[in-house]
With several copies, the nearest count.
Chain A
Amino acid sequence: MSDTHAGKFGPYGGQYVPEALMPAIEELTDAYERYVLNNEDGFMDEFQDRLRDFGGRPIPLQYAEQLSERYDTDVYLKREDLLHGGAHKLNNALGQVLLAKYMGKERIIAETGAGQHGTATAMAAAHLDMPCEIYMGKTDINRQRPNVFRMRLNGAEVNPVTVGRGTLKEAISETMRDWATTVENTHYVIGSVVGPAPFPQMVRDFQSVISEEARHQIEEQAGRLPDSVVACAGGGSNTMGAFANFVEDDGAERSSAEKSSGDEPRDRVDLIAVEAGGSSLAVDEESGVAPNSATLSTGHEGVLHGARTKLLQDSDGQIMESHSVSAGLDYAGVGPELAHLVDEGRVTPANVDDDAALEAFHRLSQEEGIIPALETAHAFAYLHENPDAVGDVTIVNVSGRGDKDLETVIEETEKRDLDVDVDMSIFEGAM
């Protein structure tokens, strides 16, 4: 992994947080090292048991017949949509809530954008019998209603965040404020590979079960490593989870110590992070609005939410309002490790626009019988637009299911003239 020292990934990472939080972050760093890295008190064993029994792991890697034929390439789907809660988010939420329990914390808080991290956290907190509050922006509350209900049904309090545009960015800021007040008994379960160290590496570690399984599965099913792994990136947690165990498959010469007999280079697995291109890659500096969330492609280094990373910001350094049809990608920052891997050339950043994502949503639903999250649909839109870029064998990470997105999809599809066969009139009967 690329976090060689003190939570930095090249120039990125670090701990840019109010002083009041620093002791908690040091405590967390210590707990992360003991429990997660060193499996103290059998933490990782318990985590894995619970991921299996409560979460439903291992999750299949599925050969996608229709897509493989369409794109003339072997497309495998890593089915995180089947994880309890409907997205990869539980891998991390369960890990962190369990860690909070090991740390003796008594209360859980979390931010949420699409509501997937919030529901995952609420579920994990209920499962582990911990009180839980979730901060969610008002815009996201409106476009992800089912998830709001689910969190509440699981006994979590949902605190609406009304400042700014009311999306993920504001929700994170608000959760940090809560944490700054309650840090002594509360753990903040951050929802992606963002925030101050040790969050980016810890969340990645919890999520890396995705590629740990996928690597075994593809070797078993295809008899080889994939030529590429494609994942959507908001903060980048499903991305890093899907990439982690392939990062070292970089096609480089092996160091002599690693060489077995010959000196062939390692296999090369291309890692492709697909961000939300929104409605346009252009930016309105004047109003501070980016009509996209394509941080890796268009962002610039800066400091946000506790870490140095790539950001959507104006020339002064004010954070822009990002936009995406998918709430879970609608974020002006990105995980510092992902930013670093892009700079290093190890990860290829890409983006697709809202229309392409919606089309991919319908295509996957109709052709494979899998209704993906709108976030996930971005990865499939990339595949659709770049079938030649993924090699002969590719893994696409199905980061979540689309049940939460039904209303948005109907509304947004109706507005557009999509290049896919959807008859919107058929949706009226049941409204």
Chain B
Amino acid sequence: MAENERLQAVFERDEPAFIPYLAAGDPDYEASKAYVEALARGGADVIELGLPFSEPIAEGPTIQNAIVRALESGMTPDRFFEFVEELDVDVPLVCMTYYNLIYQYGSEDGPRPFVEKAADVGLTGLVVPDLPAEEAGPLRAACDEFGLDLVFIVAPTTEGERLERMREQVSGYVYVQARLGTTGARDDVSDQTDESLARIDDWDVPKAVGFGIKEGEHAARIVRAGADGIIVGSALVDIVADGAKSDDSVEAVAERLERKARELKDGALAGAADSEPRPERT
């Protein structure tokens, strides 16, 4: 199983990873680039970049709307790859998108052309929320071929055999879904998080928790619960949405994003400081 080196390097450091998400092209190509770069400045360790798909069945309203804005501003898979190439950031980038876009890319049906191109522009991994382990064979193979990680999501409902199957396929990190439902910022941290982390406690892959994290305090709480990283999407997308709505300058919004990123990153670090030292990883 491929382990992308850059992604691996992130989790080998002795601190929790902060993994923010933004939809590429939201609200437009240039602003979006500035926003992603702001996240990097704010301390992102990995960035999940959404390639917008017209039927985002796993997303809540916040990210749905971001995707609509990005699509309306002309984002396409080809533009997305350009976007990634043009980005001036130093951290590993993971593409989050739906399977149909991966399947349709290029001249032949199937995931290979997409993955080849993704590797080519320097993406380090993929998250595909509508692709369970059962249907992931061809994509897994293409990722292996081109050295990309394929991140899977462990849901609160994932148990038993399914958990085993996923353990075999996952690489890079495992995305631990903090609660049932779709993406979206919440005001609390779910107990389901602890249970989920406990269920995969012995997995030999970094565990990043997402779905609903909104504040530094949440981040700390989750790292204390044993997470190796935190994934934050809607709370950041909210800032982009507010900026777009109020017609604020790109700089002002980028500034806010950077500040929020730092809050979250600091929260995660604080959580790590409270915890016992994390075991070394191989």
Chain A residues in the interface with B (C-beta under 8 A): 14-24, 26, 163-164, 169, 173, 176-177, 180-184, 288, 301-306, 311, 313, 315-319
Inter-chain CA distance A301–B100, complex, in Å, is 9
Cβ of B64 < 8 Å from any Cβ of A? yes
| Nearest-neighbor residue (CB-CB) of A169 within chain B | B55
Q: Let me know if B101 and A317 touch, CB within 8 A.
A: yes
Inter-chain CA distance A15–B64, complex, in Å, is 22
Residues of B within 8 A of A176 (CB): 57
Cβ of B122 < 8 Å from any Cβ of A? no
Residues of B within 8 A of A20 (CB): 153, 155-158, 177, 180-181
The residue among B102, B131, B157, B182 with the most chain A CB atoms within 10 A of its own CB is B157
A382 CB, min distance to chain B CBs, angstroms: 29
Inter-chain CA distance A182–B182, complex, in Å, is 10
Interface size band for B: 35 or more
Knowing A180-B182, A181-B181, A183-B180 are in contact, say whether A173-B100 is a contact too (CB < 8 A).
Answer: no
Q: Let me know if A182 and B58 touch, CB within 8 A.
A: no
In chain B, residues 82-134, which have Cβ atoms closer than 8 Å to a Cβ of chain A? 98-105, 109, 129-132, 134
Q: Let me know if B134 and A15 touch, CB within 8 A.
A: yes
Q: How would you classify the secondary structure of chain B's contact residues: helix, strand, loop or mixed? A: loop
| Nearest-neighbor residue (CB-CB) of A333 within chain B | B55
Cβ of B243 < 8 Å from any Cβ of A? no
Q: Let me know if B71 and A318 touch, CB within 8 A.
A: yes
Q: Let me know if A26 and B135 touch, CB within 8 A.
A: no
| Nearest-neighbor residue (CB-CB) of B160 within chain A | A23
Cβ of B152 < 8 Å from any Cβ of A? yes
In chain B, residues 22-61, which have Cβ atoms closer than 8 Å to a Cβ of chain A? 53-61
Q: Let me know if A304 and B55 touch, CB within 8 A.
A: yes
Q: Let me know if A317 and B57 touch, CB within 8 A.
A: no
Residues of B within 8 A of A184 (CB): 157, 180
Residues of B within 8 A of A177 (CB): 57-60, 181-182
Inter-chain CA distance A176–B131, complex, in Å, is 14
Q: Let me know if A22 and B180 touch, CB within 8 A.
A: no
Question: What is the 8 Å Cβ interface bit string for chain B, positions 124-162, against chain A (1 contact, 0 not)?
Answer: 000001111011000000000000000011111111001
Inter-chain CA distance A196–B78, complex, in Å, is 29
A305 CB, min distance to chain B CBs, angstroms: 7
Interface residue from A18, A164, A305 paired with B129 (Cβ < 8 Å): A18
Q: Let me know if B155 and A318 touch, CB within 8 A.
A: no
Q: Let me know if A18 and B157 touch, CB within 8 A.
A: no
Inter-chain CA distance A304–B101, complex, in Å, is 10
Q: Let me know if B180 and A317 touch, CB within 8 A.
A: no
Knowing A313-B100, A319-B54 are in contact, say whether A19-B158 is a contact too (CB < 8 A).
Answer: yes
Interface residue from B71, B102, B129, B157 paired with A24 (Cβ < 8 Å): B157
Q: Let me know if B159 and A23 touch, CB within 8 A.
A: yes
Known pairs A19-B158, A20-B158; list 10 more (Cβ under 8 Å).
A20-B156, A20-B177, A23-B158, A177-B181, A181-B182, A183-B180, A305-B57, A306-B130, A313-B100, A318-B76
Inter-chain CA distance A306–B98, complex, in Å, is 11
Inter-chain CA distance A31–B24, complex, in Å, is 41
Q: Let me know if B129 and A182 touch, CB within 8 A.
A: no
Cβ of B68 < 8 Å from any Cβ of A? yes
Give the top 9 A-B pairs by smallest Cβ distance, nearest first. A317-B104, A181-B181, A20-B155, A23-B157, A303-B100, A317-B100, A19-B155, A318-B54, A18-B58
Inter-chain CA distance A183–B182, complex, in Å, is 12
Residues of B within 8 A of A303 (CB): 98-100, 103, 130
B57 CB, min distance to chain A CBs, angstroms: 5
**28 A–B contacts from the bound complex (CB under 8 Å):** A15-B135, A16-B130, A16-B131, A17-B57, A18-B57, A18-B155, A19-B132, A19-B157, A20-B155, A20-B181, A23-B162, A163-B61, A176-B57, A177-B181, A177-B182, A180-B180, A180-B182, A288-B54, A301-B109, A302-B100, A304-B100, A305-B57, A306-B130, A313-B104, A315-B104, A316-B105, A317-B102, A318-B76
Residues of B within 8 A of A19 (CB): 129, 132, 152-155, 157-158, 166, 177
Residues of A within 8 A of B58 (CB): 18, 177, 180
Residues of B within 8 A of A17 (CB): 57, 130, 132
A167 CB, min distance to chain B CBs, angstroms: 12
Interface residue from B55, B64, B68, B104 paired with A316 (Cβ < 8 Å): B104
Knowing A23-B158, A316-B76 are in contact, say whether A16-B55 is a contact too (CB < 8 A).
Answer: no
Residues of A within 8 A of B166 (CB): 19
Residues of A within 8 A of B57 (CB): 17-18, 173, 176-177, 180, 305
Inter-chain CA distance A17–B98, complex, in Å, is 10
Residues of A within 8 A of B177 (CB): 19-20
Q: Let me know if A317 and B155 touch, CB within 8 A.
A: no
Inter-chain CA distance A21–B181, complex, in Å, is 10
Knowing A16-B130, A22-B132, A23-B157 are in contact, say whether A305-B180 is a contact too (CB < 8 A).
Answer: no
Q: Let me know if A15 and B132 touch, CB within 8 A.
A: yes
The residue among A21, A24, A177, A306 with the most chain B CB atoms within 10 A of its own CB is A177
Interface residue from A16, A24, A163, A316 paired with B99 (Cβ < 8 Å): A16
Inter-chain CA distance A288–B55, complex, in Å, is 13
Residues of B within 8 A of A24 (CB): 157
Residues of B within 8 A of A22 (CB): 132, 134, 155, 157-158, 162
Inter-chain CA distance A183–B68, complex, in Å, is 26
Inter-chain CA distance A365–B156, complex, in Å, is 38
Knowing A306-B130, A313-B104, A318-B53 are in contact, say whether A16-B182 is a contact too (CB < 8 A).
Answer: no
In chain B, residues 172-187, which have Cβ atoms closer than 8 Å to a Cβ of chain A? 177, 180-182
In chain B, residues 155-210, which have Cβ atoms closer than 8 Å to a Cβ of chain A? 155-159, 162, 166, 177, 180-182
A343 CB, min distance to chain B CBs, angstroms: 13
B65 CB, min distance to chain A CBs, angstroms: 8
Interface residue from B60, B103, B152, B153 paired with A302 (Cβ < 8 Å): B103
Residues of A within 8 A of B59 (CB): 177
A195 CB, min distance to chain B CBs, angstroms: 11
Q: Let me know if B157 and A183 touch, CB within 8 A.
A: yes
B152 CB, min distance to chain A CBs, angstroms: 7
| Nearest-neighbor residue (CB-CB) of B182 within chain A | A177
Inter-chain CA distance A301–B158, complex, in Å, is 29
